A = this chain, B = another copy of it.
Amino acid sequence: MSYPTLPKSVRIVEVGPRDGLQNEKGVISTEIKLQLIDKLADAGVRYIESASFVSPKWVPQMGDAKAVMTGLQRRPGITYAALTPNLKGLESAIEAGVEEVAVFGAASEAFSRKNINCSIAESLERFAPVMELAKANNIKVRGYVSCVLGCPYDGEIPPEKVAEVAKALYDMGCYEISLGDTIGVGTPLKAKAMIRAVANVVPIEKLAAHFHDTYGQALANLYAVLEEGVAVIDSSVGGLGGCPYAKGASGNVATEDVVYMLQGLGIETGIDLNQLVATGNFITDAIGSTNRSRVGLAMSS
How many A residues touch the partner, as a band?
A: 35 or more
The segment from A25-33, A61-69, A171-179, A289-297 found at the interface with B is A289-297
A247 touches B216 (CB 8 A): no
**Is A16 part of the binding interface, using a Cβ–Cβ cutoff of 8 Å?**
no
**A215-B260, A217-B219 are known contacts. Are A298 and B189 too (CB-CB below 8 A)?**
no
Task: List the B side residues contacting A187 at CB < 8 Å.
Answer: 260-261, 263-265
Task: List the B side residues contacting A223 at CB < 8 Å.
Answer: 188, 220, 223-224
A267-301 CB contacts (< 8 Å) to partner B:
293-295, 297-298, 301
In the complex, A215 Cα to B298 Cα: how many Å? 6
**Is A108 part of the binding interface, using a Cβ–Cβ cutoff of 8 Å?**
no
Nearest neighbor of A295 in chain B, beta-carbon distance: B215
B301 touches A189 (CB 8 A): no
Shortest Cβ distance from residue A57 to the other chain B in the assembled complex, whole angstroms: 26
A211-264 CB contacts (< 8 Å) to partner B:
213-217, 219-220, 222-224, 227, 243, 246-250, 254, 257, 260-261, 263-264
In the complex, A249 Cα to B187 Cα: how many Å? 24
Task: List the B side residues contacting A298 at CB < 8 Å.
Answer: 184, 214-215, 243, 246, 249
A254 touches B216 (CB 8 A): yes
B264 touches A294 (CB 8 A): no
Interface string of A1-22 (1 = CB under 8 A from B): 1011010000000000000000
**Is A190 part of the binding interface, using a Cβ–Cβ cutoff of 8 Å?**
yes
Nearest neighbor of A239 in chain B, beta-carbon distance: B216
A1 touches B196 (CB 8 A): yes
A248 touches B297 (CB 8 A): yes
In the complex, A248 Cα to B290 Cα: how many Å? 12
Task: List the B side residues contacting A196 at CB < 8 Å.
Answer: 1
B261 touches A217 (CB 8 A): yes
**Is A186 part of the binding interface, using a Cβ–Cβ cutoff of 8 Å?**
yes
Shortest Cβ distance from residue A108 to the other chain B in the assembled complex, whole angstroms: 18
What would be 10 A-B contacts, judged by CB atoms less than 8 Å apart?
Answer: A188-B261, A190-B264, A214-B294, A215-B298, A216-B293, A217-B219, A219-B220, A220-B222, A223-B224, A246-B298
